[in-house]
Amino acid sequence: MRPYIYITRKLPADIVQVLHDHYEVGMWDKEDVPVPKDVLLKEVKRADALLTMLSDKIDSEVLEASERLKVVANFAVGFNNIDIKAATERGIAVCNTPDVLTDTTADLTFSLLLATARRIVEAAEYIKKDLWKGSSPLFFAGHDIHHKTIGIVGMGRIGETVAKRATGFDMNILYHNRTRKLEAERELGVQYSPFNDLVKQSDFIVCLTPLTDETENLFTREVFQQMKPSAIFVNVSRGPVVDEKALYQALVEGEIAGAGLDVFEVEPINASHPLLQLSNVVAIPHIGSSTIDTRITMMNLCIDNIMQVLAGKEPKTIVNK
């Protein structure tokens, strides 16, 4: 019997072809709708491998339903959707897609910072609505980026790459991280800062930390109140790192100047969400790593990791060694 691989989202046929050559493959047939839990529970029962999306909750119920699962390859660098402890206890390898999306996600983070600071989305909508009839001295006046202070919370691979982008804008770069990044300090001139100092001093606070018990709800009302009234908050990490009600209040009360958000507490976010009614919020639908090249590379890495594990070999990028 050939091993069975279940893919929880429709992927391009030419990318998955290599799997069909060696394995039995099942795939959820919708591109933009997550696999329902009952389908996942049925499929995981006989699956040797799962290729999963961030929107799939791979909890102990799913893992317990499996009878021969050996690997879960998650299509993301983050893996907060997977119960790593439960997988490890069952000897199931969990793989992610680090490195291959670092530059792409850093590019998006910096684009979101620029778009929010310079009011790009608001201005683009204005012109398309044929509202441009004249100019004034403060017409769509935004915030400077160059020579300002950026505070990066979560100085992993993506954080360091954002810092590299910031050097090109002559920014003063602060970071907060569980561990000091001495090489980045030497090479990029970034400065370690305690969290509270970073939020007080930065013009741009960029959140790139993984979602963990320590970082959940890290950005509270008190934290936003410590920021400069001209500060711009950018989140490309995970929604639950931020208290969204507190962020909304901070924006409405003018405690901060704007927010660029790629991630939300509940995804997909509903268009009626209070944050989406604010003109000083630039919101995009969790597309940090979404370029054609990077997404294809991520798919291939997931497939490669699955094939390695099923061949009894070490996968390239394992989370729970």
Instruction: Tell me which residues are annotated as active site.
Output: 238, 267, 286
Which residue, 19 or 77, has its beta carbon nearer to ligand DGY? Answer: 77
Burial of 52-82, coded b for 16+ CB within 10 Å and e otherwise, reads bebbbebeeebbeebeebbbbbbbbbbbbbb
**C-alpha closest to that of 41 among 64, 20, 16, 22:** 64
- The answer to whether residue 77 forms part of the interface with ligand DGY (CB under 6 A) is yes
In the block, tokens 């998006």 appear at: 108
Instruction: Work out how close the CB of 219 gets to ligand DGY at its nearest, in angstroms, rounded to a whole number.
Output: 17
- In this chain, which of 78, 154, 156, 260 binds ligand DGY, going by CB under 6 A? 78
Give the whole-angstrom CA distance, residue 305 versus residue 95.
Answer: 7
The answer for 154, left when phi > 0, alpha when psi is -120 to 50, beta otherwise, is left
Which residue, 289 or 305, has its beta carbon nearer to ligand DGY? Answer: 289
Separation of CA 223 from chain center = 21
Scanning residues 193 to 252, which ones bind ligand DGY (CB under 6 A)?
none
272 to 311: interface string for ligand DGY, x by CB under 6 A: --------------x-xx----------------------
88 to 127: interface string for ligand DGY, x by CB under 6 A: -------------x---x----------------------
- In this chain, which of 47, 63, 73, 76 binds ligand DGY, going by CB under 6 A? 76
Give the other-Cβ count within 10 Å of 124's Cβ.
Answer: 11
Query: Which window, 5-13, 42-50, 72-80, 125-133, contacts ligand DGY (CB under 6 A)?
Result: 72-80
3-state helix, strand, coil in the chain (%, to 5): 40, 15, 45
Scanning residues 34 to 53, which ones bind ligand DGY (CB under 6 A)?
none
- The answer to whether residue 151 forms part of the interface with ligand DGY (CB under 6 A) is no
Q: How many residues bind ligand DGY (CB under 6 A)?
A: 8
What distances in angstroms separate CA 181 from CA 116, 191, 210, one per listed residue? 28, 9, 16
Residue 302 contacts residue 75 (beta carbons within 8 Å): yes
**Where do contacts with ligand DGY occur on this chain (CB under 6 A)?**
76-78, 101, 105, 286, 288-289
